[in-house]
Amino acid sequence: MNKTVRFITENFGKYDVRSIISCIEAGGFKGLKYALTMTPSEVIATVKASGIQGRGGAAYDTGKKWRQAAEVPGDDKVVICNADEGEPCTFKDRAVLENDPFRLIEGMAIAGYAVGAQNGYIYLREEYRHLRPLLLSAIEQSKSQNLIGQNIQGTNFNFEIQLYSGAGAYVCGEGSTLIESMEGKSGRPRIKPPFIKECGLFLKPTLVNNVETLVAAAAILKKGPEAFVAYGTEKSPGTKLISLAGNVKNPGAYEIPFGTTLREIIEDIGGGLEEGHSLKLMQLGGASGTIAPASLLDTPYTYEDLARAGLDVGSGGVLVVDDRTEVIDFIQSIQEFFIHESCGKCTPCREGNRQIGRIIERYVAGAPRPDDLDTAKRFAVIMSQCSFCGLGETAQSALLSAIRHFPESFQTERGARG
């Protein structure tokens, strides 16, 4: 039974991504053309009516964010598309860039029109450098068709798009760090206030949106908010791109309606686990997400149901781990990731990751100290409560949830691993 839908992804595979003509023939840019017949305020109202929440992970109301961006005074504003998809086990934005690059450009132009920006930037993660030629060509062709550039489609709306590449740091997916990186500085989060919306890239008012948010906005403008809210639940309207990975038969990027259960995602969409293996755990939202045991399989994938279960949509990653992996080994791999990726700026994240890493090493070696569990918990909470940015705040989500769901993995007796 196919539980996937095609609202955002409707054009995947429908046209030649190297050709804007083929894209337009497939119905591309209708959202932008329609948006240009409306006032910016009406465009924002349309997005607001869809109820879409930011797909980068924070789930902030996109319509509200655009409204705030539009209300910031200034006639030189910036829209940034965050294509730094850095969460491990997350590749749904890549699927968009590969299969429908023009819809991203369309979404950015719509956002630019709505908030009054003249310049857009795509911040592409370094590991996606193979997509640079495709995106550069898409930008060029869109310009040649007057879908971006000056006096777009005969209006007085001007909007240029440029492509930036990151240098590989995970923390640059955080909005203010991304901007620091674009300004040529080292990738460390920026102090707020001033807020990005008022004083972002090159000190200009800046709107930062995730790839999926922007392409969803384009689809919503094309098909209307009613078509979007026909999917999902009241609190989680619409559809969602997920990256299903790990020990499932059919890993991949899929579009699902909110409300699909985790079991349906894994069994129906993912084709289930490999024969002879059982589910150990799931991690939702990338390395910064919490982990869940098999007992939570029937949780519907919505913001509200996941939150009740201590889970989060986050980056849209759904990582499936079967019984071949020990919980503590899994946690160690997450910990190593954060020790590598912490920027080092603030004390809790820099020193906390290091200290917790040492404790996990002792667990993996089967020789934890009597107070290690309490110490790890205490500093994991300090990191989540006191860190400068979201990286330190969420770096210990996996550990804390693993301690909750798999207490047997953290017993102090030698060899007691689970």
Partner 1 sequence: MSDIQLKIDHKAISVPEGTTILEAARKVAVNIPHLCYHPDQTIKANCRICVVEVKGSRKLTAACSTQVWEGMEVLTNTRKVRDMQRGILELMLANHNQDCLKCHRNGNCELQDLCERFNISRTHLEDAVDALPLDNTNPALVRDSSKCIKCARCVEACQEVQEVHVLTHSHRSSRFNIAPAYEMSLEDTLCVFCGQCAAVCPTGAIVEKDETDLVWDAIEDPDKHVIVQVAPAVRVALGDAFDLPKGEIVTGKTVAALRRLGFEQVFDTNFTADLTIMEESHELIQRLTKGGTLPMVTSCSPGWINYIEGTFDDMLDHLSTCKSPQQMFGALSKTYYAELKGLDPKNIYTVSIMPCTAKKYEAARPEMTSGGVREVDVVLTTRELSRMIAAAGIEFAALEEDQFDNPFGIGSGAGAIFGATGGVMEAALRTAYETVTGKGLPSLDFNDVRGLEGIKEATVKLNELELKVAVASGLSNAKTLMNQIRRGESPYHFIEIMACPGGCLGGGGQPIRSTNDIKQKRMDALYEIDADLPIRKSHKNPDILHLYDTWLGEPLGERSHALLHTHYRSKAK
Amino acid at 285: G
The C-alpha atoms of residue 54 and residue 58 are separated, in whole angstroms, by 6
For every residue of 191-244, DSSP letters joined together read: PSSSPTTTS-GGGS-EEEEEHHHHHHHHHHHHH-HHHHHTSB-SSSBSEEEEEE
358 binds partner 1 (CB under 8 A): yes
To the nearest whole angstrom, how small is the minimum distance from the Cβ of residue 339 to partner 1?
Answer: 6
β-strands 317-322, 279-284: how paired? antiparallel
The C-alpha atoms of residue 299 and residue 131 are separated, in whole angstroms, by 35
The interface region with partner 1, picked from 8-16, 87-95, 284-292, 340-348 by CB under 8 A, is 340-348
CA quadruple 166, 170, 171, 176: dihedral sign: positive
**Smaller CB distance to partner 1: residue 136 or 382?**
382
Nearest residue to 227 via CA among 75, 407, 85, 31: 31
Number of amino acids touching partner 1 (CB under 8 A): 37
The interface region with partner 1, picked from 113-121, 148-156, 186-194, 284-292 by CB under 8 A, is 186-194
**From the list 379, 398, 402, 410, which residue makes contact with partner 1 (rule: CB under 8 A)?**
379
**Smaller CB distance to partner 1: residue 267 or 341?**
341
Nearest residue to 211 via CA among 113, 91, 302: 91
**Smaller CB distance to partner 1: residue 244 or 389?**
389
188 binds partner 1 (CB under 8 A): yes
The interface region with partner 1, picked from 73-81, 202-210, 278-286, 380-388 by CB under 8 A, is 380-388
Nearest residue to 353 via CA among 388, 321, 326, 316: 388
Classify residue 146 by its DSSP letter: T
To the nearest whole angstrom, how small is the minimum distance from the Cβ of residue 386 to partner 1?
Answer: 5
The C-alpha atoms of residue 223 and residue 119 are separated, in whole angstroms, by 26
CA quadruple 101, 103, 107, 109: dihedral sign: positive
Binding mask 217-256 for partner 1 (x = CB under 8 A): ----------------------------------------
Q: Torsions phi, psi of 117, nearest 5?
A: -100, 150
To the nearest whole angstrom, how small is the minimum distance from the Cβ of residue 381 to partner 1?
Answer: 8
178 binds partner 1 (CB under 8 A): no
**From the list 75, 374, 413, 415, which residue makes contact with partner 1 (rule: CB under 8 A)?**
374
To the nearest whole angstrom, how small is the minimum distance from the Cβ of residue 390 to partner 1?
Answer: 10
Residue ranges in 382-401 that form contacts with partner 1 under rule CB under 8 A: 382, 384-388, 393
Angle at 406 between CA 400 and CA 407, to 5 degrees: 85
**Smaller CB distance to partner 1: residue 215 or 349?**
349
To the nearest whole angstrom, how small is the minimum distance from the Cβ of residue 346 to partner 1?
Answer: 5
109 binds partner 1 (CB under 8 A): no
Using CB under 8 A as the criterion, which residues of the chain lie in contact with partner 1 when the complex forms? 169, 186-188, 191-193, 339-348, 350-355, 358, 371, 374-375, 378-379, 381-382, 384-388, 393
